[in-house]
Chains A and B, each alone.
Chain A
Amino acid sequence: MRYVRLILFVLIVLVVMAVPLALVLARSYFLAPTAQPVKAQPIQFPHSVHVQAVGLDCTYCHRNATTSAQATLPPLELCMQCHKIIPTQGRPELEKLVAAFQQGQPILWNKVHQLPDHTHFVHSVHLSFGFQCSTCHGDVGAMGKPGVKQVRDLRMGDCITCHQQNGARTDCSVCHY
């Protein structure tokens, strides 16, 4: 009985200290990129319609992914090559696209995969090594409205782990130059 009170006290202290620890871990979990809700976009673009229903390859729109550093967004004129003959009536999202094109207004998307400016990521190198777009971006082709969600952490630790697993270089200048 002599030590019961002491043990009880220690246990209570541990429980008390566990609360902030749990909060820290929860904060880290809920602020992780993959835990973020789908970002609201100016147009609810359904990748599923374009990839699964129409059968377009990723590189039909993201034309430079296999040949250069940047995957690139297509210009609106590329969208309009098809959408000039697809009826927009009753499709408010399509109406936004056509209106933007007619008014010459670029569409400002909210970036889903945000990479800092001091980091170089070269899409073509990763694709030519044999990775699929989905390795990093997930099954975007199945993502419908409201839009794309980030499925992988893609912070530096994630990059380095993947580089180590695949025998790629991990010195700073690989990405920061």
Chain B
Amino acid sequence: MRRRDFLKVAATSATGAVLFAGCGRIGDGVPESEFKIAQPVFNTNDWVYGRDAWFATAAPPDQGGYGLIVRVFEGRAKKVDGNPDFPGIHGKSDARAQALVQELYHPDRLSGARRATSRGSGQFQTIPWDSALQEVAQILREVGGEHAVLITGRLNASQAAIVAAFRKATGIRQAVLEPDEFVVLRTAIRRLFGVSTLPIPDLANARFLLNFSADFLHGWIAPVALAHAYGEFRQGKPGQRGLYYHVGPRLSGTAANADRWFPIIPGSEGLVALAIAQVLSTEGKAPQDRLDPYLTALGLDATRLASDYAPERVAPATGLSAEQIRELAHALVEHQPAVVIAGTSAAAATNGLFNLVATFGLNWILGSVNQPGGLLLNPEPPLPDLRVPDDAILSLRGWTELFEQIRSGTISTVLVYRANPVYALPSASGAREALQAAKHVVSFSPFLDETTTLADLVLPDQAWLEQWGLSVPDPGPGFAAVAIQQPVVAPFLDARAFGDVLLDLLRLLGQDQPWSTQEQATKALALQLRSLGRGSVTATNDKEFLVTLQARGGWWDEQSRATGSAPSTAAVQPREPAFAGEQNQFPYVLHPYPLPSLGYGELAHLPWLQGLPEPISTNVWQTWIEVSQATADELGLQTGDLVRVLTPQGVAELPVYVNPATQPGIIAIPFGQGHTAYTRYAEGRGVNPATLVAPETEPDTGTFAWAATRCRIEKTGRRARLARFEGMVPAFQLEEFPIVRVMAPKA
């Protein structure tokens, strides 16, 4: 190239780049209302004193539905915290709750009803709400409820009541999408303790916690309540520090808090638990009346337990030594009261139900069910109308059958609310193909996620902080509790609450509306609580009851507790884990895990949560694989090397994070990323592990066993930068400011 040409190109490209970057203004894409301040007509409360107002509301049901308070000023929600009055959480909250304000003010939230210009193009045009509602009503009128399905995420109690009325009037079928690990957990708890609600360990009063793989401090079923109780467990009683042993295949943030971590082969949690039961039984530390429910649940007798599950026999399949298993068993009886919990990857193995029954069942042997410091069962909601029916929760097997019905035309219309099966379920379920084949798809999601992109019509839901609702925390604090959700700000965008839309549809279909709005449904259900004549809210009239309920954020009754019942038949048979892929071709086990911040990817659209470091690696905003130091040495890998991960199901290129605490045979990968839509913060970022793991199922429940796939890794010779919070440069000593003071032991 001539020098003159070089200068021309350099000048043009540099100027062009700068001009291109300079286009647009600060705040592009942010709703206009973001930059407005409303001058009220009359003095509002917060304006009078110039202080922030705090309104009580509730967390979304998939985050636990516990009580929150929100700081509001000048009509804007500024900060979310836990409700200090609400039982179990002691005024605490977590990052997911704090990020609710980002859902409210998200720049990509949908405003106004819209119709797809062509199905799947991702392009929509705004249409009036009335025509959108008329169109949906017309669709339901034409196809009839029996040829339609309503797919939802976990609903709160008032939404569930409205959906129940809608189902009754239209005959539509409902399918609930919940992470499969909770489907397994609910099944195990129902079969083992005879209750349909999730239990909560009374950590604050326990002296010993044995945890099998559950990431209870950062995710799982109730991270806020359990993280607070964990503080009490460790430091709440002077001179008596609770002892915590963690049994699991990966050193998660929760496992890193344990006094001891017992690394095991993935999926062998149940076998370890059986061997512990064998030790307690043969050493006479398990009274017969406590051992019986355990043996019944597992379809065993004492002889078979003693012969088949002795620590020496079980140890090779678990990765522990017989001595370590005995140590665990002895710790359980030496530190009473003790409690045993299990979950996360333990539930996502091909023997997930067995793992959970065998581990939770140890609480029967220890006599810690419903005892202080043990496992507290939760009662049914105080009113039957508040019960969120769990018969509609589908497992992967159920979803595959449903999508087959949609593909074959038996079901022609799909309504979907705050559920994203196209992303959350493995491609083998056929979710995408089914939605493409469906005659009509209507979404009520407030964001354009992968499923909503395939919709014909979108009727966006309001943000959680704009809605009314009643929420029954699941798990509860050990007794009956209900949180009330109320709008803390005026609606920010042109969206409508899902319940309001369903009730409008009932009106357009000429059906009776049990309530006119979601607000009215919430209040009517709340007043039914008053008619019980018990609980924490007392009032002389309905209005006083509602005002007090809203101010306190909920209703609870410490006397209303669950009793539960011992199993009378076998809940599951003992089973060893199985893995997809031949060991000689795929030498490692691929071990996915949900992120504390993004969960299974449902919160990847919130930038605060994207930027929250994973507790062990401190990585953010991407997907990576964790490999052990031994594997890295063997393959010549360093942190930041790009490798190809191959499984029987798929291939992905990912950067490596070398973690000395990872087990040599395991490659760990976080869930959360890999979205192909779902706003600017999630789209096109990382890899969804559900595309890599084989669609194995747990045979008893039919759930997705996402921790049951083998893999191998190949070097690509390329590198990628990992965004992470921990230092990239190794620390070095300065003579004058030593960063580590080395102290030699005294001779």
Decide if B76 is an interface residue (CB 8 Å cutoff): yes
Cβ-defined partner of B76 (8 Å) among A100, A109, A117: A117
Instruction: Quote the shortest CB–CB distance from B25 to chain A (angstroms).
Output: 7
Contact with B along A102-126 (1 / 0, CB 8 A): 0011111111001001100000000
Interface centre among B3, B18, B40, B41, by most chain A C-beta atoms within 10 angstroms, is B41
B52 touches A69 (CB 8 A): yes
B41 touches A106 (CB 8 A): yes
Q: Quick check: which of B43-51, B187-195, B231-239, B365-373 contacts chain A, the rest being far away?
A: B43-51
A109 touches B37 (CB 8 A): yes
Cβ-defined partner of B35 (8 Å) among A27, A110, A117: A110
Chain A residues lying within 8 Å of B74, measured Cβ to Cβ, are 70, 72-73
Decide if A67 is an interface residue (CB 8 Å cutoff): yes
Number of A interface residues in the complex (CB < 8 A)? 39
Q: Quick check: which of B7-15, B327-335, B509-517 contacts chain A, the rest being far away?
A: B7-15
A69 touches B51 (CB 8 A): yes
* Residues of chain B from 14 to 63 with CB closer than 8 A to chain A in the complex: 14-15, 17-19, 21-22, 25-26, 33, 35-44, 46-47, 49-52
Q: Quick check: which of A11-19, A83-91, A133-141, A144-152 contacts chain B, the rest being far away?
A: A11-19
Chain A residues lying within 8 Å of B47, measured Cβ to Cβ, are 64, 72-73, 75
Contact with A along B582-605 (1 / 0, CB 8 A): 000000000000000000000000
Instruction: Quote the shortest CB–CB distance from B189 to chain A (angstroms).
Output: 39
Cβ-defined partner of B73 (8 Å) among A12, A70, A75, A100: A70
What CA separation (Å) do A77 and B40 show in the bound complex?
9
Decide if A9 is an interface residue (CB 8 Å cutoff): yes
What CA separation (Å) do A74 and B79 show in the bound complex?
24
Instruction: Quote the shortest CB–CB distance from A174 to chain B (angstroms).
Output: 16
Decide if B434 is an interface residue (CB 8 Å cutoff): no
What CA separation (Å) do A100 and B40 show in the bound complex?
10
Cβ-defined partner of A68 (8 Å) among B11, B37, B41, B50: B50
Cβ-defined partner of B49 (8 Å) among A31, A64, A65: A64
Chain B residues lying within 8 Å of A71, measured Cβ to Cβ, are 50
Decide if A38 is an interface residue (CB 8 Å cutoff): no
What CA separation (Å) do A74 and B77 show in the bound complex?
20
A64 touches B50 (CB 8 A): yes
Decide if B285 is an interface residue (CB 8 Å cutoff): no
Decide if B101 is an interface residue (CB 8 Å cutoff): yes
Chain A residues lying within 8 Å of B50, measured Cβ to Cβ, are 63-65, 67-72
Instruction: Quote the shortest CB–CB distance from A94 to chain B (angstroms).
Output: 15
What CA separation (Å) do A65 and B11 show in the bound complex?
52
Instruction: Quote the shortest CB–CB distance from B52 to chain A (angstroms).
Output: 7
What CA separation (Å) do A76 and B40 show in the bound complex?
6
What CA separation (Å) do A148 and B77 show in the bound complex?
25
Chain A residues lying within 8 Å of B49, measured Cβ to Cβ, are 64, 68
Contact with B along A6-31 (1 / 0, CB 8 A): 00010011001101100110010001
B44 touches A110 (CB 8 A): no
| Residues A106 and B40 in contact in the complex (CB < 8 Å), given A68-B50, A70-B50, A111-B35 | yes
What CA separation (Å) do A25 and B488 show in the bound complex?
42
Chain B residues lying within 8 Å of A118, measured Cβ to Cβ, are 78-79
B39 touches A74 (CB 8 A): yes
What CA separation (Å) do A109 and B38 show in the bound complex?
6
Which residue from chain B places its CB closest to the CB of A16 in the assembled complex? B11
- Please, could you name 18 A-B residue pairs with CB atoms under 8 Å apart, sorted by A? A16-B10, A16-B11, A19-B11, A63-B50, A72-B74, A73-B40, A75-B41, A77-B43, A78-B43, A104-B41, A106-B39, A108-B33, A108-B38, A108-B39, A110-B37, A111-B35, A114-B35, A117-B101
Given pairs A75-B47, A108-B33, 20 additional interface contacts (CB within 8 A): A13-B10, A16-B11, A16-B14, A19-B14, A27-B22, A64-B47, A64-B49, A64-B50, A69-B51, A70-B73, A72-B74, A77-B42, A77-B43, A101-B41, A106-B38, A107-B38, A108-B38, A111-B36, A111-B37, A114-B35
The 7 tightest CB contacts between A and B, nearest first, are A64-B50, A68-B50, A20-B14, A106-B38, A23-B18, A20-B18, A107-B39
